[in-house]
Structure 1
Amino acid sequence: MDLLDLLKRPEGKTLEFKRDLSSADGVLRTIVAFANTSGGTVLVGVEDRTRHVRGIAEPLDLEERLANLISDHIVPRLVPELEIIPWRRSHVLAVQVYASPVRPHYLRREGVERGAYVRVGSTNRRADRELLEELRRFARGEAYDEQPMPGLDSEALDFRVASESFAPVRRLRRADLQTLRLVTTHQGRTVPTIGGMLLFGVSREQHFPDAWIQVGRFQGVDKSRILDRAEVHGHLVGAVEEAIAFAEKHAWHGADIGRVRRRERWSVPPVAIREAVINAVVHADYAQRGAPIRLAIFDDRLEVENPGLLPFGLTLEDLPRGISRLRNRVIGRTFHALGLIEQWGSGIQRMMAACRDAGLAPPTLEEIGNRFRVTLWLEQVGAPTLDKTEGTILAILSDGTGRVTSEVAKVIGLTPRATRTRMVRLVERGLVREVGTSPQDPKR
């Protein structure tokens, strides 16, 4: 274990510093939280605010004491790695805790209902009833949205709405409902799953009253003055498109060209907005009650947040590397079949690449309270990344009059099809606005 490297890092989801063992309960709560969440390291003998190494006296005795505390007070049994690390003229005790396959762990004397903790940022949070159930499902390898709803039958799903959602992709058959796990067999009956009801349920909000999207455009950088708002209560597939349309409506700004010409462009790449909204819908914790998915647009940023922390075993640092765990398998499977998700784990990477290519700051990813938030920043921090052909296309369009694809193709020397591919990429990056709406549109 590289102590010097750990000391350079602040406390967070997988790291905590402890001055000593004078408060053993605090150390035990952290160990429980690490085991229940994503693992982590506790360093005993380090000041938590300054990261100053105080060291520990009698390291062997302290190691034995902590091992006994863990054995006596944490259930189910947990065996982290304890290591005494030399530091100058003293020592530090490192406790390496791995994410556990037998969650939830808890403090014996507090019981499972009050003694189970999870890690949120650099703090330990007592797991409420919903989190305890999620910990148990995770240990069993189950997804919340794959669970049956035995009080209903298959007619609780609106097959017409499901068919219309799939119409642009393929014809939906009744048998596909089983394949996608929109319905399942429970005690000899075909019943909808939670995911099926969330996606296409006839009385969806009766069972899941917070499964909708709240969207708003605010003046300035806080929520003191609202300019526009809407509540999107449609089925999730359509709700995604409505929320994205709202964001796109408010995501334009003008750039003056000369004295009278004006060229419009996105203030944030459409592909980044799309990935943020889809990510929120697919990964939301629909077992939580009290708040919907939210999309908020300010003068300097766009925020998309959903109920639910990151799935257990994931950290914020994992996301840019394409590491992902699907919380809602039915919703994810259906979105993949609809072409809304291209490849598992690639959404955050596409979002970050789109912002980088548009010259924007990287998105901020946060766990706040019991919610996950993506913030897309609108301020330019650099020039967009363009190759020679893309630069030529933007120069052609810079007078603001607009060009059809065939006209651009003649100038850049590519086929209309190849030019169209280039133009679509520029639209996704927010550098070009598409006016035409179909292949037959003369403005396209």
Structure 2
Amino acid sequence: MSVELTLEQLRSLLKELCHLPHETEWVEFKHNADVVKIGEYISALANSAALIGKQSAYLVYGVDDVTHDVVGTTFKPSSQHYKQQEIESWLLQKITPKIHFCFYEFTAGDDETPVVILEIQAAIYTPVQFEGVEFIRVGSYKKKLKAFSEKERELWRVFDKTPFEKQLATENSSGDDVLQLLDYPSYFDLIGIPLPENRSGILVALEADNIIEHTDSGLWNITNLGAILFARKLNSFQHLSRKSVRLILYRGNSRIETIRELEGNKGYAVGFEGLIDYLKTLLPSNEEIGRAFRKEVPMYPELAIRELVANAIIHQDFSISGTGPMIEVFDSRMEITNPGVSLVATDRFLDSPPQSRNEALASFMRRINICEERGTGIDKVVFQTELYQLPAPIFEITENHTRAVLFSHKIFSEMDKEERIRACYLHSCLRHVNREHTNNSSLRERFGIEKKNQAQVSRVLKDTVGGGFIRPYDPDAGTKAMRYVPCWA
């Protein structure tokens, strides 16, 4: 998908498309628009573009479909409505999954002939549907995909072998455009090598890391990996503009009143440290009373925040359009949400081997020390919340998202039964992956409870066993020798 096109680029694109010998599976010419059929064409062209390896497809209004002469059009999508809705809003509701598409209205030349180009992002992970039906192009004809089973199977094979990071954010960009769009000094700074003295050296280095790729025409393509990590401005890449991290600060513990909202616009690698630093300025501190002095400590451990934000970035599902990672800060909790359902069950985050949809992204983020080299870093999150004696975090899945929730400090007496059980279970998981057992003593330390109140901890252990979260390691052991492991151990 290209960046926002200028008038000169649009006229050049129109000329290039009109020079095609005939309509193709990724280009359709129309004089005027049948509004009802636009969604079907978006589905068909998006799926066909994916099938033949194109990053974009085009529906051109104002060009004769036989001679390819520019004849002009009366179609004006900016003012077109259907069923009392703007045409673009109506299409967005009917197309699944949501992909990027953009109407460009412009004049073809000095004669002011009006033309519209609808640029359509190729399907990514699954066929694009319009009103629940998948379409495909067969030659220059639009057909239902289910009627062409071989094309459907081939399309799924394409999805299986083309990860998001290897797809293209721009095509046929000049070297100057690449260096204008990407924050290349940050790339060299983050990987710890000197900045080359000339443009050629810079481009070669970026190509070696799959940030860009060279074309046969001598120009450059920017990969999604390069754009999502090193974009100077993510909104320069239309299909990635909604993938920026949103940070929202609320008043109180509800979403009724927003105090501040920030939407990052830099690539993830470029903007990560600034995001964390800004987030820390929004978080209140707790007062810790030491033996001789008082000191302010952060409400949430920085290491836990870093790991959870990095996880949200790395494990998101990029095929879900119109949404990106989000951090929401309330008075007594912080929620970090990413698009996509976790590939690992939430109750096994601590012990399961990591699985990532975006391995190239994860690998590069590890390489520049933004995230864990091994595992998910959740063990660090749980350890830090225990060290700070915070309530245990929650990891949950909604229909299309995964969410982690950190809670501000509570003493044991303020925690409810559910919070105590969750803390006990995660404590047991953490101990188990460290090859240690859970017992009354270890859980007392986790909650900051004195030995004389060990009966309180015994009650928590009993409730957690009763809930099926942990079990005795040796059911025949005496009360004082009783040790516990997670239910799945």
Considering Cα pairs closer than 8 Å and 6+ residues apart, tell me whether 1 or 2 has the greater RCO: 1
The answer on whether the counterparts of 1:252 and 1:264 sit within 8 Å (CA) in structure 2 is: no
Quote the offset at 1:185 in angstroms.
Answer: 5.0
Q: Percent identity at matched positions?
A: 19
The correspondence for 1:280, drawn from 306, 312, 319, is: 312
The answer on whether the counterparts of 1:303 and 1:376 sit within 8 Å (CA) in structure 2 is: yes
Match of 1:213 in 2: 245
Quote the offset at 1:283 in angstroms.
Answer: 2.0
| Letter matched to residue 199 of structure 1 | L
Map Cα deviations across residues 239-278 of structure 1 (whole Å, 9 max, x no partner): 32232123211333242759x9642011111000011111
The answer on whether the counterparts of 2:171 and 2:222 sit within 8 Å (CA) in structure 1 is: no
The correspondence for 1:250, drawn from 276, 282, 292, is: 282
Quote the offset at 1:230 in angstroms.
Answer: 1.9
Q: Does 1:170 align with 2:192?
A: yes
- Structure 1: any 5+ residue segments left out of the alignment? 1-102, 114-131, 386-444
- Correspondences of 1:148-227 after superposition (within 5 Å): 148-149=168-169, 151-153=171-173, 155-158=176-179, 161-167=183-189, 169-171=191-193, 173-184=202-213, 190-201=220-231, 204-206=234-236, 207=238, 208-227=240-259
The answer on whether the counterparts of 2:339 and 2:400 sit within 8 Å (CA) in structure 1 is: yes
The answer on whether the counterparts of 1:303 and 1:374 sit within 8 Å (CA) in structure 2 is: yes
C-alpha change, 1:279 and 1:138, in structure 2 (3 Å) is: farther
| Letter matched to residue 161 of structure 1 | D
Separation in 2 of the partners of 1:289 and 1:104? Answer: 12
Quote the offset at 1:214 in angstroms.
Answer: 1.4
SS in 2 for 1:280: helix
Structure 1 segments, 4+ long, off by >3 Å, are 110-113, 135-139, 154-160, 172-176, 184-190, 201-204, 380-383
Map Cα deviations across residues 335-384 of structure 1 (whole Å, 9 max, x no partner): 2221212313232222222112221223211221311111112133569x
C-alpha change, 1:272 and 1:156, in structure 2 (3 Å) is: farther
The answer on whether the counterparts of 2:396 and 2:402 sit within 8 Å (CA) in structure 1 is: yes
The answer on whether the counterparts of 1:322 and 1:348 sit within 8 Å (CA) in structure 2 is: no
Quote the offset at 1:156 in angstroms.
Answer: 4.5
Quote the offset at 1:202 in angstroms.
Answer: 5.4
TM-score by length of 1: 0.50
| Letter matched to residue 297 of structure 2 | R
The answer on whether the counterparts of 1:251 and 1:267 sit within 8 Å (CA) in structure 2 is: yes
Map Cα deviations across residues 63-120 of structure 1 (whole Å, 9 max, x no partner): xxxxxxxxxxxxxxxxxxxxxxxxxxxxxxxxxxxxxxxx989xxxx9889xxxxxxx
The answer on whether the counterparts of 1:156 and 1:192 sit within 8 Å (CA) in structure 2 is: no
| Letter matched to residue 181 of structure 1 | N
The answer on whether the counterparts of 1:219 and 1:227 sit within 8 Å (CA) in structure 2 is: yes
Report which of the two structures shows the higher radius of gyration computed on alpha carbons.
Answer: 2
Separation in 2 of the partners of 1:152 and 1:362? Answer: 50
The answer on whether the counterparts of 1:199 and 1:237 sit within 8 Å (CA) in structure 2 is: yes
- Correspondences of 1:339-354 after superposition (within 5 Å): 339-354=369-384
| Letter matched to residue 236 of structure 1 | Y
Separation in 2 of the partners of 1:353 and 1:270? Answer: 12
Separation in 2 of the partners of 1:281 and 1:257? Answer: 36
Separation in 1 of the partners of 2:288 and 2:360? Answer: 47
The answer on whether the counterparts of 1:267 and 1:378 sit within 8 Å (CA) in structure 2 is: yes
- Structure 2: any 5+ residue segments left out of the alignment? 1-124, 136-151, 196-201, 414-426, 428-489
- Please give the root-mean-square deviation of Cα atoms over the aligned residues, in Å: 3.8
Q: Does 1:365 align with 2:398?
A: no
The correspondence for 1:325, drawn from 355, 358, 361, is: 355
Separation in 1 of the partners of 2:243 and 2:133? Answer: 32
Match of 1:304 in 2: 336
Match of 2:65 in 1: none
The answer on whether the counterparts of 2:312 and 2:325 sit within 8 Å (CA) in structure 1 is: yes
Match of 2:163 in 1: 143
The answer on whether the counterparts of 1:158 and 1:200 sit within 8 Å (CA) in structure 2 is: no
Separation in 2 of the partners of 1:156 and 1:327? Answer: 29
Separation in 2 of the partners of 1:138 and 1:317? Answer: 33
The answer on whether the counterparts of 2:233 and 2:265 sit within 8 Å (CA) in structure 1 is: no
